[in-house]
Amino acid sequence: MSKKIGTKCVQGGYTPGNGEPRQIPIIQSTTFKYNTSEDMGKLFDLEASGYFYSRLQNPTCDTVANKICELEGGSAAMLTSSGQAANFYSIFNIANCGDHIISCATIYGGTYNLFAVTMKKMGIEFTFVPPTITEEELDKCFKPNTKAVFGETLSNPSLDILDIELFSKVAHKHGVPLIVDNTFPTPINCRPIEWGADIVTHSTTKYMDGHGAAVGGCIVDAGKFDWMANADKFPGLTTPDDSYHGITYAEKFGKEGAFITKATAQLMRDFGSTQSPQSAFILNLGLESLHVRMAKHCENGQRVAEFLNSDDRIDSVKYPGLGDNALAKKYLPNGSCGVVSFRIKGGRKVAEAFMKNLKVAAIETHVADARTCCLHPASATHRQMSDSELLACGIYPDLVRFSCGLEDAEDLINDIKQALDNI
């Protein structure tokens, strides 16, 4: 029976048998017992599926990954220790030293740093493109060594919407997958796979957990990208892996399983950015109410955005639900998220004074939490960037990122009012 999204939030990934626990069990065990060395050897050869060490896979984590997989409409998924680990693995699973990636420039500051600084040191080169790029211009960015295209459905903090259909069309024309970070809308408001994305990543730290309790990430594979049809580009998936007795992931696990199996068997084995079963349990509690909470976050976001838009002390407001936004109508018809980005008249100093005056909203690095929080990206998450890099990411020095929580909208608006009055 096919289920709707809310039912998947509550019950996805886990169906207890007769007499089994109703809530998902936390398997707090690093290791798993086998009767013979031969049984265990089969796991090490990827000849049998099963658990042997929680650095690679854990049943609690897999249960929660399967729920997110159902929510996104994917074929396989894995949890990671953080959103950063998810985005790193999603690219490092298919790109090596000497390869090239095209990424939208409007992305989270941590991801930008990962790509432009750390992965560059690993020999992977990135070209950053504006989200408004045309098909012809995007076409021209491809090189023979380009291995993927990356973007955020709804960028943090600039709230630009990725034209997923356009980006996936051009990526596929060049024989590479589109990777989409879907953290802000969550699968409640947008499912990138339905628009042609091949790999979807998440910082589950944000709305999915939703209570500021557990850092985590997730990677979902749509199971649609044909690695074998582009075999020369992706040797890691299409030629034998010596560290697993010569298995070829794309042959043995097919389109549906190759990407996540390789990321688990190689990257988790070697880097170990695994999520703890305790964190996965907390994440699952968040997921159980994700569909209910997102509606309230969006309602609060809309009301706060409309208030800010009507106040002449505010220079400009960015929120997908304002004005006539064609991409919002197409990709986010039921709402976007609770984050509103705006610029205050008077520049950086006024923005800082405004934030200091807030009483309900707190200054935090965090975003997408039950409690309203706000941040001045230019002096925090995006601090390492030059002014020109900031502008390319859609960040102005006076930009405030205001993340509406689950409080009453009246209280949030009154808080903003008094903070503006007291500047």
Ligand X SMILES: *Cc1c(COP(=O)(O)O)cnc(C)c1O
Residues of this chain that interact with ligand X (CB under 6 A) are 82-84, 87, 108, 110-111, 152, 156, 181, 183, 203, 205-206, 215, 217
The C-alpha angle with vertex 256 and arms to 21 and 203, in degrees rounded to 5, equals 65
Q: Which is nearer to ligand X, 82 or 274 (CB)?
A: 82
- CB-based contact 316:97 (threshold 8 Å): no
223 closest CA partner among 276, 261, 167: 261
Chain residue at closest Cβ approach to ligand X: 83
Pick 14 or 92: Cβ nearer ligand X: 92
Q: Give yes or no for a cis peptide into 157 (omega within 30° of 0).
A: yes
CA atoms of 371 and 361, how far apart (whole Å):
7
**Min CB(216)–ligand X separation in Å:** 6
Q: List b or e across 101-113, with b for residues whose CB sees 16 or more CB atoms inside 10 angstroms.
A: bbbbbbbbbbbbb
Cβ 275 to ligand X shortest distance, Å? 10
Instruction: For residue 200, count other CB atoms closer than 10 A to its CB.
Output: 31
CA distance readout (Å), 406 to 207, 209, 293, 409 = 11, 14, 7, 8
Q: How far is the CB of 352 from ligand X (least distance, A)?
A: 22
Shortest distance, position 414 Cβ to ligand X, whole Å: 27
The residue (of 150 and 227) whose beta carbon lies closer to ligand X is 150
Could you tell me the smallest distance in angstroms from the CB atom of residue 184 to ligand X? 6
Q: Which is nearer to ligand X, 13 or 83 (CB)?
A: 83
Give 261 or 275: the residue with its C-beta nearer to ligand X: 275
Give min distance, CB of 200 to ligand X, in A: 12
**CB nearer ligand X, residue 92 or residue 249:** 92
Radius of gyration of the chain (CA): 22
C-beta of 339 vs 406, nearer to ligand X: 339
How many CB atoms lie under 10 A from the CB of residue 341?
Answer: 26
Please, what is the minimum distance in Å from the beta carbon of residue 205 to ligand X? 4
**Minimum CB separation from ligand X for residue 128, in Å?**
15
Which of residues 209 and 415 has its CB atom nearest to ligand X in the complex? 209
Contact 409, 300 (CB under 8 A): yes
Name all contacts of 357-361 with Cβ < 8 Å and 24+ positions apart.
357/418, 357/419, 357/420, 357/422, 357/423, 358/415, 358/416, 358/419, 359/415, 359/418, 359/419, 360/407, 360/411, 360/412, 360/414, 360/415, 361/402, 361/412, 361/415, 361/416
